[in-house]
Amino acid sequence: MIYPETILTEVVGTETVLGAILLVHSRSVAFKAICLAKQTPFWEELDREFIWEASMLHDIGVVRTHAPKIGAMGDKPYIAHGVEGAKILEKRGLFRHARVALTHIGTGLLANEIIHKKWPIPQEDMIPRTKEEMLVCVADKFFSKSHDLGIEEPIEKVRRELDQYGIASRERFEHYLQVLSLS
């Protein structure tokens, strides 16, 4: 068992604006992921402890990005927070958790999207594969880090926001809901 709040405190600090935001956001995502997991027919099969831990750590890489609105003063672009989070977690030997950090951006990223948009991250597919990875990715879409902290957005708003990023993003979200028997 790991203690994700301790890891967040060590890496980000809770005395900072960013640390406080990440703690509220991550707890919100973790609660939502567990609630969603309970609604699936796979509840007994899921690694619920991992879902909680990974939800708490999925955004840890934000600490290395430059997003002043949420107190992140690093030097990487925000799109890189999944890659950076994976690096942080891999150094701690948390490889499954690192995979969640890597794959939760949007509804996952495909290499061709990364290339087309010229994002400064590795040009590889970063898509959730396991039910646990999908649960964290889906749960994350219901909570913002920049406004209405800790307030769950309705699924209709989540879908509208995903539509802004193209049909592929929305289709992946709907696919995850199907796989998880949540649609």
**pLDDT confidence of residue 29:** 98
Residue 44's CB is within 10 A of a number of other CB atoms, namely: 7
**pLDDT confidence of residue 147:** 87
Q: At what angle do helices 4-11 and 17-39 cross, to 10 degrees?
A: 150
Q: Which amino acid is at 9?
A: T
Query: What are the structural domains, with CATH classification, of the chain?
Result: 4-179 (1.10.3210)
In eight-state DSSP terms, residue 106 is B
8 A C-beta contact, residue 8 and residue 60:
yes
Q: Scanning the structure block, which residue is given the tokens 């889906």? A: 138
Q: What is the pTM of this model?
A: 0.96
List 102's β-bridge partners, or say none: none
Dist CA 118 CA 17 (whole Å): 30
**pLDDT confidence of residue 155:** 97
DSSP per-residue codes, 16-82: SHHHHHHHHHHHHHHHHHHHHHHHSTTTTTS-HHHHHHHHHHTTGGGGGBEEGGGTEE-SB-GGGHH
8 A C-beta contact, residue 25 and residue 63:
no
**pLDDT confidence of residue 166:** 87
Which of helix, strand or coil describes residue 139?
A: helix
* pLDDT tens track, the chain, 183 positions: 789 999 999 999 878 999 999 999 999 999 999 999 999 999 999 999 999 999 999 999 999 999 999 999 999 999 999 999 999 999 999 999 999 999 999 999 999 999 999 999 999 999 999 999 999 999 999 999 988 999 999 999 999 999 998 899 999 999 999 999 998
Q: Scanning the structure block, which residue is given the tokens 């990223």? A: 109
